[in-house]
């Protein structure tokens, strides 16, 4: 097994990426590849002591920036650290790729460089949203596909179910549709049709969940089109961030506030970490022919190391093979 | 001008409704009608001293419960406090109706009893979401229409723009589309087409806003289909409520926490009121032939009084006439 890391992707690259790689080698004893400017990377690695036989540096002369147009960047920057990393997965030289770079470019690269699994219409990106049980809920799709058909939602459900079992170690993940009410028959056309299809799939489908209850951990997986997934996630994120800054403002506005905040320092730190979405690992792109994990743009070395661990579990769990198996069974079902 | 209040709708009816009516008469010197069981209401009103000449009680023998199926309830409970109130608007005996009862039933009643404004395809419900500038953002549509066409979104924008000017006193309301990114060309088919149409309407259209930034007051009005509006609103609400309960848990978990909370009591109350969506007034149903205001189900007398004030401003502002004027101008535009 080999995992490749886009060495130049992310706000803190290459420093955090390099440190994450070093710590992953130490902790997981895994073989890693990193892509990017060889001299720069060599210099960074020279700061650490670790088993160099576990690491391969593959030179890449270009960098895809956050401002780059995704599809254009993938097509024109063929020697970028991201495209070179994706190509290693395509060629079977690596099993999974981790990137903290341009999200749109990674989605496009997953599709155009690594390629779709045959039978999957639309790969989906699955970010997580923290819930009050200190766990996380997968959003499938969290933003890769703005317009979806019922068939796509069924595939998102099946793929994220496999991922939740194999990578998140949830035995029988609860799968629900994001909806405006809990009763069957609620919602828009897309959701109503997907509901009917999901009832007939071998899943722990629990029906509809309202957006308000996602954070209450009513479900492990929430299935929706990528437009809805983005709205759900970003709305929650916006409120969480605003409340944190309101709290801060409140605490700093008076002496009493400052004293109170001092007493509560440790508790508030816990609250902050609960609301910090970047602590909850990377988002997998499911439905492509290999592991593609999007780490948060502001990933520190710990986040990179965690994403590498996700890549390891993704590979060991045979997620791609299981998705292919689902397609086969599903097609057999339809033929009957 | 006369405003009618559904006397039996809401978790705290009729007590809060009656008290809200009394206070509104005192504060606004307005003529009010209240619907519901005459004996019950008379008995409640006997607890207050106020100018009885400003009040009319219209008897209604039935109550629509929260558990009732909306359309069925409107059709079968013809003598319910809600339907009787809606009929008074239909018949021109009242200008606007306030109800804290079953939301779905009020939407159905707005359509079937009061009736659509000719030329409006789909009325929209416009709840508000508080923002960090201590103001509020209108969501149009917040849940009345799960599936929408671009034309509907344009009408939502135009109607909520009129409402924001006339009732919320915003001079030139900023109108934005809820979207997954800010650039033109982002989003699903619906949003892309609506974007093109909104550019050509006489509005302060500022483009796309991400769900994350709604709370940051980037816009006064956020336009979306009702499915998206519900997801956006409920996701924010869920996080706000969870954070409040997490804070409470944190504060009560230790002596230090309790001391800190004591010091911060006033500040935390402010924070709580910011996050309490019910404090921000009722949601108008725009596009029907009269004022229909949905007050929060858990409305206290203050919320009822505030909703009555919304009804007054709605009527004084000629919102319905302005919407008719928009349709006329828009049709003229299309004919050219």
Residues whose CB is less than 8 angstroms from the CB of residue A311 and which lie 6 or more positions away in sequence, other chains included: A3, A95, A96, A97, A98, A291, A293
Q: For position B130, what pLDDT does the model report?
A: 84
pLDDT band, residue A161 (cuts 50/70/90)? very high
Q: What is the pLDDT of residues B21-78, one digit of tens each?
A: 999 999 999 999 999 999 999 999 999 999 999 999 999 999 999 999 999 999 999 9
Is any Cβ of chain A less than 8 angstroms from the Cβ of B124? no
Q: For position B250, what pLDDT does the model report?
A: 74
Q: For position A260, what pLDDT does the model report?
A: 74
Percent of chain A with pLDDT over 70: 96
Q: Do B9 and B78 sit in the same domain of this protein?
A: yes
Alpha helices (H) in chain B, listed in sequence order: 15-28, 38-45, 70-76, 81-90, 103-109, 150-166, 189-198, 226-252, 255-263, 265-275, 301-316, 319-335
What mean pLDDT is predicted for residues A252-280? 71
pLDDT band, residue A98 (cuts 50/70/90)? very high
From chain B, the residues in CB contact with A233 under 8 A are: 211, 235
Q: For position A215, what pLDDT does the model report?
A: 86
Residues 41-100 of B with CB under 8 A from A: none
* Closest CA relative to residue B125, chosen from B224, B20, B238, B9: B224
On whether the CB atoms of residues A36 and A62 are closer than 8 A, the answer is: no
Peptide bond into B203 cis (omega under 30): no
Q: For residue A221, list its beta bridge partners.
A: A138, A175
Q: Do B164 and B249 sit in the same domain of this protein?
A: yes
Considering only the beta carbons, identify the residue of A132, A188, A270 that sits closest to B242. A132
Considering only the beta carbons, identify the residue of B132, B147, B232 that sits closest to A189. B147
* Beta strand B283-286 pairing with B124-125: antiparallel
On whether the CB atoms of residues B287 and B140 are closer than 8 A, the answer is: no
From chain A, the residues in CB contact with B239 under 8 A are: 215, 235-236, 239-240, 243
Q: Do A146 and B225 lie within an 8 Å CB cutoff? A: no
Q: Do B212 and A227 lie within an 8 Å CB cutoff? A: no
Q: For position A261, what pLDDT does the model report?
A: 75
Question: What whole-number distance in Å separates Cα of residue A55 and Cα of residue A33?
Answer: 6
Q: For position B336, what pLDDT does the model report?
A: 59
Substitution target in A227, A252, A258, A265 with the highest count of B β-carbons within 10 Å is: A227
Considering only the beta carbons, identify the residue of B143, B238, B264 that sits closest to A180. B143
From chain A, the residues in CB contact with B256 under 8 A are: 263-264, 267
Substitution target in A235, A261, A263 with the highest count of B β-carbons within 10 Å is: A235
Residue A277 has pLDDT above 70, yes or no: no
Q: Do A232 and B227 lie within an 8 Å CB cutoff? A: no
From chain A, the residues in CB contact with B253 under 8 A are: 267
Q: How far is B68 from chain A (nearest CA, A)?
A: 14
Q: Do B74 and B189 sit in the same domain of this protein?
A: no
On whether the CB atoms of residues B299 and B277 are closer than 8 A, the answer is: no
From chain B, the residues in CB contact with A215 under 8 A are: 238-239, 242
Residue B168: half-sphere exposure toward Cβ, Cα within 13 Å: 26
Q: Do A304 and A233 sit in the same domain of this protein?
A: no
Q: Do A158 and A228 sit in the same domain of this protein?
A: yes
pLDDT band, residue A274 (cuts 50/70/90)? low
Considering only the beta carbons, identify the residue of B178, B238, B247 that sits closest to A216. B238
* Beta strand A174-179 pairing with B204-210: unpaired
Q: How far is A232 from chain B (nearest CA, A)?
A: 6
Domain containing residue A114: CATH number: 3.40.718.10
Q: Do B239 and B160 sit in the same domain of this protein?
A: yes
Quick check: is B308 in a domain?
Answer: yes
Percent of chain A with pLDDT over 90: 80
Say how many residues make up chain A.
336
CA distances from B235 to A173, A239, A307 (A): 21, 9, 26
On whether the CB atoms of residues B314 and B96 are closer than 8 A, the answer is: yes
CA distances from A26 to A21, A31, A49, A52, A133 (A): 9, 10, 10, 11, 31
Quick check: is B267 in a domain?
Answer: yes
Reported ipTM? 0.92
On whether the CB atoms of residues A90 and A289 are closer than 8 A, the answer is: yes
Q: Do A236 and B236 lie within an 8 Å CB cutoff? A: yes
- Residue of chain B whose Cα is closest to the Cα of A257: B264
From chain B, the residues in CB contact with A188 under 8 A are: 146-147, 225, 227
Q: Do B65 and B149 sit in the same domain of this protein?
A: no
Quick check: is B331 in a domain?
Answer: no
Last residue of a domain, one of A231, A251, A279: A279
Is any Cβ of chain A less than 8 angstroms from the Cβ of B235? yes
Q: Do A86 and A214 sit in the same domain of this protein?
A: no
In eight-state DSSP terms, residue A28 is H
Q: Do B104 and B202 sit in the same domain of this protein?
A: no
Residue A265 has pLDDT above 90, yes or no: no
Is any Cβ of chain A less than 8 angstroms from the Cβ of B210? yes
Question: What whole-number distance in Å separates Cα of residue B159 and Cα of residue B150?
Answer: 14
Q: For position B274, what pLDDT does the model report?
A: 64
Q: For position A273, what pLDDT does the model report?
A: 67
> Is the CA virtual torsion A311, A312, A318, A321 positive or negative?
positive
Q: Do A264 and A297 sit in the same domain of this protein?
A: no
- Residue of chain B whose Cα is closest to the Cα of A132: B242
Considering only the beta carbons, identify the residue of A146, A188, A211 that sits closest to B234. A211
From chain A, the residues in CB contact with B216 under 8 A are: 238, 242
Q: How far is B296 from chain A (nearest CA, A)?
A: 16
Q: What is the pLDDT of residues A231-254, one digit of tens each?
A: 999 999 898 888 877 777 777 777
From chain A, the residues in CB contact with B188 under 8 A are: 146-147, 225, 227
On whether the CB atoms of residues A99 and A82 are closer than 8 A, the answer is: yes
* Closest CA relative to residue B235, chosen from A138, A128, A237: A237
Q: For position A245, what pLDDT does the model report?
A: 79
Residue A306 has pLDDT above 80, yes or no: yes
On whether the CB atoms of residues B285 and B311 are closer than 8 A, the answer is: no
Residues whose CB is less than 8 angstroms from the CB of residue A124 and which lie 6 or more positions away in sequence, other chains included: A140, A141, A142, A144, A145, A152, A155, A156, A159, A160, A226, A285, A286, A287
Q: Which of A191-195, A201-205, A326-330, B314-318 has the lowest mean pLDDT?
A: A326-330
> Is the CA virtual torsion A219, A225, A230, A236 positive or negative?
negative
Last residue of a domain, one of A279, A303, A320: A279
- Residue of chain A whose Cα is closest to the Cα of B269: A250
- Residue of chain A whose Cα is closest to the Cα of B247: A271
Q: For position A312, what pLDDT does the model report?
A: 97
**Chain A with chain B: Cβ pairs closer than 8 A:** 173
Last residue of a domain, one of A262, A279, A296: A279
Is any Cβ of chain B less than 8 angstroms from the Cβ of A274? yes
Q: Residue A210 belongs to what domain range?
A: 123-279
Please state the domain count of chain A: 2
* Closest CA relative to residue A275, chosen from A323, A236, A306, A235: A236
Q: Do A231 and B231 lie within an 8 Å CB cutoff? A: yes
What mean pLDDT is predicted for residues A44-62? 98
Give me the residues of chain B with pLDDT under 50, please.
none
More confident residue, B247 or A278: B247
Q: For position A133, what pLDDT does the model report?
A: 78
pLDDT band, residue A334 (cuts 50/70/90)? low
Q: Do A136 and A270 sit in the same domain of this protein?
A: yes
Q: Do A50 and A102 sit in the same domain of this protein?
A: yes
* Closest CA relative to residue B329, chosen from B149, B154, B92: B154
From chain A, the residues in CB contact with B268 under 8 A are: 250
Residue A255 has pLDDT above 90, yes or no: no
On whether the CB atoms of residues A296 and A305 are closer than 8 A, the answer is: no
Q: For position A38, what pLDDT does the model report?
A: 98
Q: For residue A98, list its beta bridge partners.
A: A5, A293
């Amino acid at each position: 097994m080999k995992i490749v890391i886009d060495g130049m992707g992310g706000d803190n690259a290459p420093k955090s990426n390099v440190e994450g790689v070093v710590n992953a080698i130490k902790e997981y004893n895994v073989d890693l590849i990193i892509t990017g400017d060889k001299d720069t990377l060599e210099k960074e690695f020279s700061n650490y002591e670790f088993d160099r036989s576990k690491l391969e540096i593959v030179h890449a002369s270009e960098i895809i920036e956050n401002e780059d147009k995704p599809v254009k960047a993938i097509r024109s920057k063929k020697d970028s650290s991201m495209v070179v990393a994706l190509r290693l997965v395509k060629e079977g030289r690596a099993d999974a790729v981790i990137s903290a770079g341009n999200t749109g470019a990674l989605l496009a690269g997953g599709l155009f460089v690594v390629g779709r699994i045959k039978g999957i219409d639309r790969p989906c990106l699955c970010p997580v949203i923290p819930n009050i049980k200190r766990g996380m809920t997968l959003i499938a799709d969290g933003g890769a596909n703005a317009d979806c058909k019922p068939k796509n939602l069924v595939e998102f459900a099946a793929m994220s179910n496999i991922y939740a079992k194999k990578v998140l170690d949830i035995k029988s993940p609860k799968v629900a549709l994001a909806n405006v009410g809990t009763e069957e028959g609620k919602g828009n056309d897309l959701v109503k049709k997907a509901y009917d299809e999901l009832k007939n799939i071998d899943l722990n489908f629990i029906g509809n969940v309202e957006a308000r209850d996602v954070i209450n951990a009513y479900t492990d997986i929430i299935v929706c089109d990528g437009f809805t997934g983005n709205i759900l996630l970003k709305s929650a994120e916006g409120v969480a961030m605003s409340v944190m800054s309101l709290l801060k403002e409140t605490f700093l506005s008076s002496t009493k506030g400052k004293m109170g905040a001092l007493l509560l320092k440790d508790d508030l730190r816990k609250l902050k970490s609960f609301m910090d979405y970047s602590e909850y690992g990377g988002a997998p792109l499911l439905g492509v022919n290999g592991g593609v994990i999007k780490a948060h743009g502001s990933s520190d070395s710990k986040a990179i190391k965690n994403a590498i661990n996700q890549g390891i579990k993704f590979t060991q769990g045979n997620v791609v093979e299981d998705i292919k198996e689902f397609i086969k069974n599903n097609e057999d079902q339809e033929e009957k």
